[in-house]
Structure 1
Amino acid sequence: MLHFSPGKTAAVLLTLLIGLWLAAPNLMPVSWRNAMPTWLPHNALTLGLDLQGGSYFLLEVDKNAVLKDQVTSLRTQARQVLNDNKIRSQAALQGRGILVTLPNPDDTSKAVDLLQVLGNSPDGNLFGGGTRTATVTSNTPGQITIALTDEGLRDRMNRIMQRSVEIVGNRVNGTGVVEPIIQRQGDNRIVVQLPGLKDPDRFKELLGKTAKLEFRLVDLSMPVQQAEQTRPPVDSELLPSQDGTQKFLVQDQVMVAGDELTDAQASFDQNTREPVVSFRFNTNGARQFGRVTTENVNKPFAIVLDNKVLSAPVIREPITGGSGQISGSFTAQSAQDLALLLRSGALPAPMTVVQEQTVGPGLGQAAIHAGEMAALVGSLLVVVFMVASYGLFGIIASIAVALNVGMIFGVLSLLGATLTLPGIAGIVLTVGIAVDSNVLIYERIREEVRAGRTVLMSLDAGFSRALATILDSNITTFIAATVLYFVGTGAVKGFAVTLGIGIITTVFTAFTVTRLLVSWWYRGVKPRSIPI
């Protein structure tokens, strides 16, 4: 059991060398890492929000806005279904549904049958999923009530949250923030952690914008002042400009939607050198944009973002190339932010920042210092205990534990993981688990010595008979770490990652590396007794 062939010895040493080599960049200054050749490992651990400071945002999706949007869409669909079948009707919003009134009560039965389709949710329909999304009932001739179901709303909300997490992730990743944490919390909230963030106000604005871009025609049938004094024409509305200095009378119909965009980039106008946002449509959007601009030459075309008019240029000639630019009172930074929002896509529902916390770098540094002190003090006490209890073998165990910690940092660096305070706690716990494995081995050796076995037989039996117990204890702990990783979130996951990696490296260092060191000692000293 103590015999190591040259090949096996080389494999163990090579594994240790690779692990420590991967961990080395964490001890180097940034300038050294940047100057290293690309083929050398140069990835260092990224510190989490609790260690290097940054910002924490809690975003909340507006449930009332989701409900209103669903009811409005339901009314639009109901009108379309009845109009397609030549049934005259009026539809009014009513709580969580709509009330459809038919001038001819004899159409009630036919209309109910036609409107049942709104309650179904085949894949690709507005409401998605396979649940019943709306109920269609009529208790009075000439009146039909269509109400959204709880199941349909929950399914829709779940889809909105999934899409919102994806879009928020696109927006954050597009700014270059390293290792952000973005995860859903509850039914309608999203947690965003941005380590090292230096401009929280900019991110707060980015995360809170819906970024719903629309291209609509300006309504020229009535002056804006008259629309303000009386009321806007049917199917039109008054919208403020981006800076709030003026208003525009804009048609409700969306001629081209922002979801038809394939790209948006900040650039500069070739004539004025002012910051603009250049955009490009997909095939369908380019076709729609070309048709609208062809049919409305010399008419103003409003570019609307979140119900605010960015600009309303006059269409001088048809734009059939599928691309264009948005101009306005942009700075270089605001143009870049708008381009990022358009590339990321519009949020499916309005979202607000309900909680914001900023962790200063000083607090992060204090956390690092506290974590380092805890790790050092804990490791020192472990070393003192091992040396006091097992003498030379305690020193060997301490060396193995130090190599174990180095390998943990090497694996974490290789994976590009983020180190947090819970991660440090996982490393400290791993030190205790590693020492526990050595204690099992050494106590087994002591038992063999008391039984009167020779030095070689005691050492060999101690390692071989303790192996099963070491594997059992570490496998059960690894299972617990795996469950924590898949079930837990945030800090729990960070703890589970370091603990899981630490368990794997512990089995290698506490058993294999310790056994190699003991075999070297035995062959070099040829002891007649074991100093344990």
Structure 2
Amino acid sequence: MLNQTPFWKYILVIFVVALTALYAAPNLYGEDHAIQISASKDAPVEQELADLVESALVAENIEIKRIELERGQLLVRLNDSDAQLLAQDIIDRKLNDDYVVAMNLAPDTPDWLRAFNAEPMKLGLDLRGGVHFLMEVDMNSATTKAYEDVVGDFRLRLREEDIRYRSAKQNPDSVDVVFRDSATLEKAQFFLRNQFGNLQINERDGLTLRATFSEARLAEIRDAAVKQNITIIRSRINQLGVAEPLVQKQGADRIVVQLPGIQDTAKAKEILNATATLEFRMVDGQNDVRDAQRGRAPAGSEIIMHKDGYPQLLKKQVMLTGSHIIDANSGVDEYGVPNVSIDLDSKGGAKWSRATKDNVGKPMATVFIEYKSTGERGPDGKLIFEKKEEIISIATIRGQLGASFQITGLDSPQEARQLSLLLRAGALIAPIQIVEERTVGPSLGKENIELGMTAIIWGLAAVLVFMLIYYRAFGVVANIALVLNLVMIVGIMSMIPGATLTLPGMAGIVLTVGMAVDANVLIFERIREEIREGRSPQQSIHFGYDSAFSTILDANITTFLAGMILFAVGTGPIKGFSITLMIGIATSMFTAIIVTRVLVNSIWGGRRVTKLAI
């Protein structure tokens, strides 16, 4: 008999609707005003901290909704923004600078939904409020750092090949290596050209070889600096608990950072401006640091202060930078001594093995380097940064090291944990500076959400009323499909990692609500035509769905392709609109073709029908 639905289609519809409804549900619970507390330096986030914060707030009569300790962070949920402001001030005074304390908006998702990893939709800056930063990368530092690495590589490789040289020094835009005679220079030139194909190595006057990067290689270095900084910025933003930050490249040397939901711009700037890197250097044990302090420092060494306040003499040559570290984890050895296990990439492993081969048993220092903006610009218009260096640990090299090794000599497990966090965060290839800052208040975002929801509700209501009046019983089926379509859009948007709802995205949903009914109109009108041509109700339903399918498919595919093009070539708001449009097209086809067919077959299929209410 016509219009019988296979059992698997019932299962499919129930499964898809239930799944999307489950992941759409967290959007009903809203957000809490919260204070987020993260570790800073040597201060752990543990239950004792939660108890301390709770007692401090209770003493000041601040009502706490609840306190959560998870993923190494403490989240204090409060009832309103006034309590949030007071709580931040109290916690800041209580904890001083030992922790990063930031105001935030935290989803109030119930535990039973969290068990399914269900979270509300990520809202963009225009809906949720937050901060927008435009950051500029110091490209001069990026190229300078690349030439520093070249100097170190030249010294190592020439030493390994037993090619003697007078000096190897770095210039602003080149590296010069001076030799004793022309025969050695020719041998070195042939060797270095074979080993360093990305460098242009040419002979200069005075038995000198000059190495420079090609323009193509310099462009790669600058592009890599921006990309690596983007990766590290994302890692640092995790400290702020931002659910879906936007971090993307703009132009040749700038990065756009948008942090929806962040209310404490000072803390956001503090974390983003923490421009730092790591270097491993050998300790100069052959010379006295006191002589160096008197102005008699050896040519290849310099004084750097230890974090504990005493001076230490280190070799200037950098053995390895943090840019080669891919993983770092703290732990203890068989004697209970804290250490940090480090994994390097292939290039870093090979370089590290060569660098440590001749230094077994000697002390090595891990140097933490931070760049701070002076607020001034040079003649070229670029930002000027002040470099600050500090030794964070000194350890002894126990053997020739490869791609995996351990740092020992640490004072405590907490120091090991902090060092592993710094290493995992990676090294910024070049310092960055915030050059533009904008704040979007949550009240504006709330107004946008309310206006957008009003448009969606009124648009949906108008369509529902029209379908109910014009198509009667079949209109009820279409209306059920439209409501399910909206639930599915919200559920899928909540499920997709990286999908963010913006104001243009809400416009896409409004448009989708209007478009979603088109397929039902085509089907229902075709059913009417079949009835007018004298077919039975069952035949009319069957041929109505089958005949309208190709038209519906063609129309939706062309619109979907337009959405894909908008997503590919558009930016920001255009992408937000295209994402919701494409999701809406997919869900509307599912609900209009499959869901309504299942409902129609369940009501009218498989039985004798003399007249259809359509």
Query: TM-score, normalised to structure 2's length?
Result: 0.66
CA–CA distance in structure 2, aligned partners of residues 505 and 190 of structure 1: 35
CA–CA distance in structure 2, aligned partners of residues 116 and 416 of structure 1: 46
Corresponding residue of 1:469:
551
Match of 2:256 among 167, 191, 199: 191
Q: Cα distance, 1:520 vs. partner?
A: 5.2
CA–CA distance in structure 2, aligned partners of residues 88 and 255 of structure 1: 19
Could you list the per-position Cα deviations for residues 72-110 of structure 1 after superposition, in whole angstroms to 9, with x for gaps in the alignment? Answer: 333444455566554544455556324455554565544
Corresponding residue of 1:113:
190
Query: Which residue type is aligned with residue 219 of structure 2?
Result: R
Q: How does 1:393-432 map to 2 (within 5 A)?
A: 393-415=474-496, 418-421=499-502, 422-432=504-514
Query: Which residue type is aligned with residue 173 of structure 1?
Result: N
Asked if 1:367 corresponds to 2:448, the answer is yes
SS at match of 2:247: strand
CA shift in 2, pair 1:29/1:48, >3 Å: closer
Q: How does 1:177-216 map to 2 (within 5 A)?
A: 177-208=242-273, 209-214=275-280
* Identity within the alignment, %: 34
CA shift in 2, pair 1:356/1:212, >3 Å: farther
Asked if the contact 2:300/2:315 (under 8 Å) is kept, the reply is yes
Corresponding residue of 2:3:
3
Query: Which residue type is aligned with residue 380 of structure 1?
Result: A
Q: Cα distance, 1:469 vs. partner?
A: 0.9
Could you list the per-position Cα deviations for residues 37-66 of structure 1 after superposition, in whole angstroms to 9, with x for gaps in the alignment? Answer: 776685433333332223333333322112
CA–CA distance in structure 2, aligned partners of residues 290 and 105 of structure 1: 30
Q: Over alpha carbons, which structure has the higher Rg? A: 1
Query: Which residue type is aligned with residue 20 of structure 2?
Result: G
Q: Decide which moves more: 357-366 or 168-177.
A: 168-177
Corresponding residue of 1:308:
388
SS at match of 2:269: helix
Asked if the contact 2:129/2:440 (under 8 Å) is kept, the reply is yes
Match of 1:280 among 334, 340, 344: 340
Asked if 1:169 corresponds to 2:234, the answer is yes
Could you list the per-position Cα deviations for residues 438-472 of structure 1 after superposition, in whole angstroms to 9, with x for gaps in the alignment? Answer: 12223323433444444444333222210111122
Could you list the per-position Cα deviations for residues 488-516 of structure 1 after superposition, in whole angstroms to 9, with x for gaps in the alignment? Answer: 55544444443333222212211232234
Could you list the per-position Cα deviations for residues 202-245 of structure 1 after superposition, in whole angstroms to 9, with x for gaps in the alignment? Answer: 34333331232445537635557643xxx8542234557879x9
Asked if 1:323 corresponds to 2:408, the answer is yes
Query: Which residue type is aligned with residue 316 of structure 2?
Result: D
Corresponding residue of 1:44:
120
Asked if the contact 2:10/2:598 (under 8 Å) is kept, the reply is no
Corresponding residue of 2:426:
345
CA shift in 2, pair 1:255/1:217, >3 Å: farther
Corresponding residue of 1:515:
597
SS at match of 1:429: helix
Corresponding residue of 2:60:
none
Q: Which runs of 5+ in 1 are unaligned?
A: 121-132, 267-277
Query: Which residue type is aligned with residue 137 of structure 1?
Result: N
Corresponding residue of 2:584:
502
Asked if 1:66 corresponds to 2:131, the answer is no
Q: Cα distance, 1:372 vs. partner?
A: 0.9
SS at match of 1:164: helix
Q: Decide which moves more: 474-483 or 256-265.
A: 256-265
Query: Which residue type is aligned with residue 177 of structure 1?
Result: V
Corresponding residue of 1:433:
515
CA–CA distance in structure 2, aligned partners of residues 211 and 326 of structure 1: 21
Q: Which runs of 5+ in 2 are unaligned?
A: 32-65, 67-107, 332-337, 344-348, 371-386, 400-405
Corresponding residue of 1:142:
207
Asked if the contact 2:560/2:582 (under 8 Å) is kept, the reply is yes
SS at match of 1:349: coil
Q: Cα distance, 1:164 vs. partner?
A: 3.3
SS at match of 1:169: helix
Q: Cα distance, 1:473 vs. partner?
A: 1.9
CA–CA distance in structure 2, aligned partners of residues 482 and 210 of structure 1: 39
Corresponding residue of 1:443:
525
Corresponding residue of 1:236:
301
CA–CA distance in structure 2, aligned partners of residues 26 and 407 of structure 1: 12
Q: Cα distance, 1:184 vs. partner?
A: 3.5
Q: Cα distance, 1:519 vs. partner?
A: 4.3
Q: Cα distance, 1:156 vs. partner?
A: 3.0
CA–CA distance in structure 2, aligned partners of residues 419 and 303 of structure 1: 39
Asked if the contact 1:118/1:134 (under 8 Å) is kept, the reply is no
CA–CA distance in structure 1, aligned partners of residues 315 and 328 of structure 2: 26
Query: Which residue type is aligned with residue 280 of structure 1?
Result: V
Q: Cα distance, 1:150 vs. partner?
A: 1.1
CA–CA distance in structure 2, aligned partners of residues 260 and 20 of structure 1: 42
Corresponding residue of 1:217:
283
Q: CA RMSD in A?
A: 4.6
Query: Which residue type is aligned with residue 148 of structure 1?
Result: F
Asked if 1:458 corresponds to 2:540, the answer is yes
Query: Which residue type is aligned with residue 26 of structure 1?
Result: N
CA–CA distance in structure 2, aligned partners of residues 523 and 261 of structure 1: 61
Query: TM-score, normalised to structure 1's length?
Result: 0.75
Asked if the contact 2:166/2:180 (under 8 Å) is kept, the reply is yes
CA–CA distance in structure 2, aligned partners of residues 249 and 364 of structure 1: 54
CA shift in 2, pair 1:326/1:487, >3 Å: farther
Q: Cα distance, 1:479 vs. partner?
A: 3.6
CA shift in 2, pair 1:63/1:368, >3 Å: same
Corresponding residue of 1:128:
none
CA shift in 2, pair 1:93/1:363, >3 Å: same
Corresponding residue of 2:217:
152
CA shift in 2, pair 1:336/1:381, >3 Å: farther
Corresponding residue of 2:41:
none
CA shift in 2, pair 1:213/1:438, >3 Å: same
Query: Which residue type is aligned with residue 202 of structure 1?
Result: K
Q: Decide which moves more: 62-71 or 513-522.
A: 513-522
Asked if the contact 2:182/2:207 (under 8 Å) is kept, the reply is yes
Query: Which residue type is aligned with residue 403 of structure 1?
Result: L
CA–CA distance in structure 2, aligned partners of residues 80 and 293 of structure 1: 16
Could you list the per-position Cα deviations for residues 330-353 of structure 1 after superposition, in whole angstroms to 9, with x for gaps in the alignment? Answer: xx9x99887633332212332333
